Amino acid sequence: MTGVLGLGFALLLALSPLTAGAEAYRFTLEEAVGYGVQNSTAIRSKALALEAAKQDLAAARAAYYPSVSAGLTYTHLFEQPTQGPLYLAATDPVALSANLSQTIYTFGKLKGGVKLTEEAVAQASLDLQEETRKTVVLIKKAFYGYLLALELQSINRDTLERKQEALEVARLRYNAGLVADYEVLRAESDLENYRATVISSENAVRVALLNVRNALGIREEGFEFELVGALEPLSIDLDSKALLARALERKYDLRSFRNGLELLAVQAALNRSLALPTLAGFVGYSLKSGFDSATGKNEYFTAGAWDGTWTAGLSFNVPVSALLPWSKESAAVRKSALALQNMKLQYESLESGVRIAVESAILKIAEQEAKIASGRKSVALAKRLYESAGEQYRGGYISSTDLKDAQLGLNGAQLAYAQAVFGYNQNVLDLMDVVGSEGE
């Protein structure tokens, strides 16, 4: 994960001063992944959410430390109280105060609150990892989709060239008086009809490139790039036991569920602790201005004018009502126990689904492997058949229809092989998606 982010950062540094130009940049798969991860607004959003969760954790942990407050109070008495000739209070007394309080023991309430925010941080971190992983897989799928479009375009262009060659051969044979003009017209019609297929494949390349642009999060109109790579089967070790173990450990849904189970367990413990006492200590100091009891005048600046008082104590609070079976605290305890039991049942069902998904993905990959092996042989045979048909046609032993059949056979075999490789790679990435991997 760190390597991908580092690569993306380095790539952005390299490209940032150049994006306004008309030059096209070349991305390998690794460079495209690095750029896309660094450029993703969804990933940045998850990163901000993680930082916010960390700040919530810091705020929760602050309850472990003393709370200090200070105050200044000014009071004006419109009529001073008196007792005989003496004044009992100043007209405008000023008081300063400083207070410190410290929670000493909460029987798990404080610890439970911190633990809840720790679980929130863990979930936010997991969300960031999953968003990054999904982005990587999305980019890889778009990248291979573009390579497939390029391969299909190349195959169709080659087929168009073969049809052009067939037309030239037909013209030579017509000029030599070996065939009627019908052969030339049929070859020319076949060539022109196939141009539409080539145009469609070229448009498919442009659409695939737009998909890559979207996956990379590129919004700049002037940012031109091209992708470098070949449509080849991905390498993977299909060890079902290892893949299943990895899926059960790393799959986002399962990990998120496990975090949820832990969160519910912490919440249940916190709900139980609400019925337990809280012990806190406090200490304070107040300083109040004096006055002359004979005249009632305020005294702020004489040495003995201010009177200071220290206070200290302990607070032991017992929520008695929380101990009653019909209290909301008791109901919360029972509800959290039921929620925890229900979530455990859901987890078992989800785990079973992941097992099936892994096994199904492995079977699909094995199927595509067989198609690739068969496709290689089909392409080799179709090439030999086409080469032989070309020689036979030039020699006048077969018709243009036979040559066209050979062309279509080679074209179909090549297209089927390319689709098999693409399907294999997509299934590999789907398997990596199931096991919670980035497709490495």
Sign of the dihedral through C-alpha 161, 166, 167, 169: positive
How far apart (Å, rounded) are the C-alpha atoms in residues 347 and 257?
7
Amino acid 5: pLDDT: 46
How far apart (Å, rounded) are the C-alpha atoms in residues 205 and 156?
12
Supply 49's token pair: 């959410």
How far apart (Å, rounded) are the C-alpha atoms in residues 18 and 12?
10
Per-residue tens of pLDDT for the chain, all 440 residues: 444 444 444 444 444 443 444 456 788 999 999 999 998 999 999 999 999 999 999 998 888 888 999 999 999 888 888 888 888 888 888 999 999 998 888 888 888 888 888 889 999 999 999 999 999 999 999 999 999 999 999 999 999 999 999 889 989 888 888 888 888 898 899 999 999 999 999 999 999 999 999 999 888 877 888 888 888 998 888 888 888 888 888 888 888 888 888 888 888 887 778 777 888 888 998 989 888 888 888 888 877 788 889 998 888 888 777 777 887 778 877 888 888 888 888 888 888 888 999 999 999 999 999 999 999 999 999 999 999 998 998 888 888 888 889 989 999 999 999 999 999 999 999 888 888 876 55
Amino acid 14: pLDDT: 43
Cβ 10 vs Cβ 40: under 8 Å = no
Choosing among 1.20.120.790, 3.40.50.1360, 3.40.50.620, 1.20.1600.10, the CATH entry for 2-39+106-277+318-434 is 1.20.1600.10
Q: Which residue has the tokens 């048909």?
A: 389
Give the global pTM.
0.79
Local structure of residue 321 (DSSP, 8 states): G
Query: Distance of alpha carbon 270 from its chain centroid, rounded?
Result: 31
End-to-end CA distance of the chain: 11
Dihedrals phi, psi of 178, to nearest 5 degrees: -90, -25
Torsion of CA 125, 130, 132, 136, to 10 degrees: 160
> What are the sequence ranges of the domains in the chain?
2-39+106-277+318-434
Beta bridge partners of 299: 290
Contacts of 356 (CB under 8 A, 6+ apart): none
Amino acid 331: pLDDT: 84
Torsion of CA 199, 205, 207, 210, to 10 degrees: -150
Query: Distance of alpha carbon 110 from its chain centroid, rounded?
Result: 32
Dihedrals phi, psi of 67, to nearest 5 degrees: -105, 125
Amino acid 368: pLDDT: 92
Cβ 364 vs Cβ 432: under 8 Å = no
CB atoms within 10 A of CB 140: 24
Supply 303's token pair: 């040495």
Amino acid 116: pLDDT: 87
Supply 433's token pair: 């998606």
How far apart (Å, rounded) are the C-alpha atoms in residues 91 and 80?
6
Category of 412 on φ-ψ map: left (φ > 0), alpha (ψ -120 to 50) or beta: alpha
Dihedrals phi, psi of 293, to nearest 5 degrees: -70, -20
CB atoms within 10 A of CB 55: 12
Number of alpha carbons in the 13 Å side-chain half-sphere of residue 38: 21
Q: Which amino acid is at 435?
A: V
Q: Which residue has the tokens 């019909």?
A: 326
